[in-house]
Amino acid sequence: MKITAIAPANIAFIKYWGKRDAALRLPANASFSMNLSESYTTTTVDFSDQYREDEVIFLDDTITGSERKRITSHLDRIRDIAKISTRAKVVTKNSFPKGTGVASSASGFAALTVAASNAAGLSLSERELTILARIGSGSACRSIPDGFVVWDKGISSDSSTAHSIARPDYWDLRDVLCIVDTSMKKITTSEGHESVESSPLWKSRLESVDVRMSRILEAFEKKDFNRFGETLEEDSDSMHTVMQTQTPPLYYWRETTVMVMKAVRQWRVDGLAVYYTIDAGPNVHVLCESHSENLVKKKLSELTGIERIISNAPAKGAHIVTDHLF
């Protein structure tokens, strides 16, 4: 059966960095994110006897051998559950153009999980889909439920699941994403997670992250944007100081990254409620409420060095669509 799914990328306000179990991708801490409206992956999967082996095609992009292996291993997991041995054709494309540096593993594995499990004849619950997506790529589990999502640390694979805490229309936030560099990362996030313990600051991040989680959830409930923003910015800084002090060090920031961070801080001093967060790359996600979106975009467009600005609203999670890619 041929099934197509769309899944959004997500931006974490409290980050997932470090695992308790690498194979199962059990996180060292709980995390919290928002699905992004303009950054998503579409994937069509067809299981059929006509395919002698799995065929994986990225439209508008090339695929490395290790990426292909990660995808076919995920298909194997789904075949095991569905008790089938049929090979599949997978065709996938991202809404964000090639090389924009937007992480595609979250949206990619979420879309693959929903499309492939349904195409294999399974009808998994949302909870089960989050477990399966998590084993593909940790952050992918947060792209399954709608809107604003918490991924619980859990005590086992079955309890480390993601769930929505609010629908996309709960709070009209904007993630104004500044693309500052489109080159590929040299070290994958999976490799980065593995050496997290080499940072002397890792322990102190773990000791403080749960406090930030409680604080941000409280601010989210009250829609207290300043407290919300202060906390997400602090968590991003915390993750990057760990990354930068790991061996080998992961220094994702470019000159333009630092310039945007400084500008955001200055605009705050000038009275504009705006905060930044950064994932495993040089691009800066600038968070504001929708009433400030145009002003924030204008101010960002006056800075030099930003290649592109993509403004994202909160979005629903992974879902099936009827238009196929092949």
Q: Which is nearer to ligand DP6, 46 or 235 (CB)?
A: 235
Q: What does the per-residue mask of binding to ligand DP6 show for 177-196, with x meaning CB under 6 A?
A: ------------xx--x---
Per the CB < 8 A criterion, the answer to whether 180 and 286 are in contact is no
Q: Which is nearer to ligand DP6, 5 or 242 (CB)?
A: 242
Q: Which is nearer to ligand DP6, 105 or 292 (CB)?
A: 105
Stretch of residues binding ligand DP6 (CB under 6 A), selected from 13-21, 115-123, 208-216, 308-316: 13-21
Residue ranges in 239-298 that form contacts with ligand DP6 under rule CB under 6 A:
279-280
The number of angstroms, rounded, from the C-alpha of 6 to the middle of its chain's C-alpha atoms is 14
Cα–Cα distance list, 196 to 9, 28, 82 (Å):
23, 10, 35
97: how many CB neighbours lie within 10 A of its CB? 12
Based on the shown chain and the rule CB under 6 A, indicate whether residue 15 belongs to the binding site for ligand DP6: yes
Q: How many residues bind ligand DP6 (CB under 6 A)?
A: 16
User: Rounded to an integer, what distance in angstroms lies between the CA atom of residue 106 and that of residue 103?
Assistant: 7
User: Rounded to an integer, what distance in angstroms lies between the CA atom of residue 77 and that of residue 105?
Assistant: 17
Q: Taking Cα atoms as reference points, which of 181, 171, 192 lies closest to residue 260?
A: 181
Residue ranges in 193-232 that form contacts with ligand DP6 under rule CB under 6 A:
193
**Nearest distance from residue 121's CB to ligand DP6, in Å?**
27
DSSP string, 124-156: --HHHHHHHHHHH-GGGGGGSSSSEEEE---SS
Q: Where do the DSSP E strands lie in the chain?
A: 2-14, 19-21, 26-27, 31-47, 55-58, 88-94, 148-151, 162-166, 173-179, 275-277, 284-289, 308-312, 319-321
**Nearest distance from residue 280's CB to ligand DP6, in Å?**
4
Based on the shown chain and the rule CB under 6 A, indicate whether residue 72 belongs to the binding site for ligand DP6: no
Q: Which is nearer to ligand DP6, 16 or 40 (CB)?
A: 16
Of 9, 25, 54, 87, the one binding ligand DP6 by CB under 6 A? 25
Q: Which is nearer to ligand DP6, 15 or 74 (CB)?
A: 15
User: Rounded to an integer, what distance in angstroms lies between the CA atom of residue 139 and that of residue 301?
Assistant: 30
For the chain, the maximum distance between any two Cα atoms, rounded to a whole number of angstroms, is 63
Stretch of residues binding ligand DP6 (CB under 6 A), selected from 80-88, 132-140, 174-182, 261-269: 132-140
**Nearest distance from residue 199's CB to ligand DP6, in Å?**
14
Of 42, 137, 246, 311, the one binding ligand DP6 by CB under 6 A? 137
**Chain positions contacting ligand DP6, by CB under 6 A:** 12, 15-17, 25, 31, 103, 105, 137-139, 189-190, 193, 279-280
